Amino acid sequence: MFIKNTWYVACASTDVGETPFGRRICNESIVFFRDDAGQIQALEDFCPHRGAPLSLGRVVNGRLVCGYHGLEMGCEGKTVAMPGQRVGGFPAIKKYAVTERHGFVWVWPGDALTADIDLMPRLTWADNPEWAYGGGMYHIACDYRLMVDNLMDLTHETYVHAGSIGQREIDETPCVTKIDGDHVTTSRFMSGIEAPPFWKMALRGNNLPDDQPVDRWQICHFTPPSHIMIEVGVALAGNGGYDAPDDKKAYSVVVDFLTPETETSMWYFWGMARKFNVKDDALTQAIRDGQGKIFSEDLEMLESQQRNILRMPQRKLLSLNIDAGGVQSRRVIDRYLALETTV
């Protein structure tokens, strides 16, 4: 169900401050905290004394102090002190590989000894002054793979997001899916169309007219375990579309980090990185607000879909040509899962 020997976004760096922060990831309860040097640490969220969540305690001098009986847990997962007790024989708890990058806390839920920092996704837009970024997080009660299907098939925009980014030309334009190793790409290019409301706002944000025909593109990139970057944008028609100069287009990357919580729930870290008018904070907020509304529409659909599937598990779902991106992405996930179960 879950690929565990890999990196997932656990939370924003700002979520972990002076108090412990608990989160369930891949069916494992994990507590995040900062040691006395301010470095991020992650342990099993389980006190070896009576099983209380350590995330309900506090951090004192870089140690986790259980909120039930005061047991003190060190950063390596070993009990270091407890009032009135000898702790030398206390069992250790699991320590997780964890790091911070690009404003996120990343965790490796599997074997910490196999964690490889070089396997983290490379984000060309992150920490780059030529780009601006804004985003958020939703908890969604659905199998994370349903969101993979959703994001790798943007045909649904015509119907789920009709008032913002949807338009009939998406339905009318075929998509092309390609596989390069573990990288799945689904792309669609539309020419000489009217920009939908969200993209009219983006054009105005780049000081471009919103009443002229545009060329629009959607290029969805899936990489395991469940990271999806979607190149999106519009350019004034006749200027080269995707390859148009920056002053003739509004170009962005929709950022999607999907972190499984349980078999039927997930943490969805969403955002948009843009390469135009990057110093306009009001535009960043407007785009974030627009995205938030769009993804809330996905949330409603996906949670309803999950409930339907759970009620009727015997029903087989169809896979059509528009589903190719999701189907191929799931095959990559299945291949990684098979590798973990055979090791």
What is the chain's pLDDT, residue by residue, as a tens digit (343 residues)?
Answer: 899 999 999 999 999 999 999 999 999 999 999 999 999 999 999 999 999 999 999 999 999 999 999 999 999 999 999 999 998 899 999 999 999 999 999 999 999 999 999 999 989 899 899 999 999 999 999 999 999 999 999 999 999 999 999 999 999 999 999 999 999 999 999 999 999 999 999 999 999 999 999 999 999 999 999 999 999 999 999 999 999 999 999 999 999 999 999 999 999 999 999 999 999 999 999 999 999 999 999 999 999 999 999 999 999 999 999 999 999 999 999 999 999 876 5
pLDDT at 182: 96
Using CB atoms within 10 A of its CB, is residue 146 exposed (0-12), middle (13-18) or buried (19+)?
buried
Say how many Å lie between the first and final Cα of the chain, rounded: 16
- 132-140/265-274 β-pairing: antiparallel
Sheet strands side by side (includes 58-60): 58-60, 63-65, 72-73, 79-81
**Cα 107 to the chain's mean position, in Å?**
13
Q: d(Cα 232, Cα 255) in Å, to the nearest integer? A: 11
pLDDT on residue 1 = 81
Backbone angles phi, psi at 149, to 5 degrees: -55, -45
Nearest residue to 325 via CA among 144, 140, 121, 154: 154
pTM assigned to the model: 0.94
| b/e 80-90 (16+ beta carbons within 10 angstroms → b) | eebeeeeeeeb
Which residue has 């980090």 as its token pair?
257
Query: What does the angle CA 281 – CA 286 – CA 289 come to, to the nearest 5 degrees?
Result: 125
Sheet-wide strand order for 214-223: 132-140, 265-274, 249-262, 227-236, 214-223, 183-193, 176-180
Radius of gyration of the chain (CA): 22
Instruction: Give the pLDDT score at 285.
Output: 96
pLDDT of residue 97: 98
Q: Which two tokens stand for residue 188?
A: 């669609």
**CA 27 → CA 2, 60, 261, distances in Å?**
9, 28, 6
Domains of the chain in start order, with CATH, are 8-119 (2.102.10.10), 132-342 (3.90.380.10)
Q: Tell me how far apart the alpha carbons of residues 22 and 43 are, in angstroms, rounded to a whole number.
A: 10
Q: How many CB atoms lie within 10 A of CB 115?
A: 20
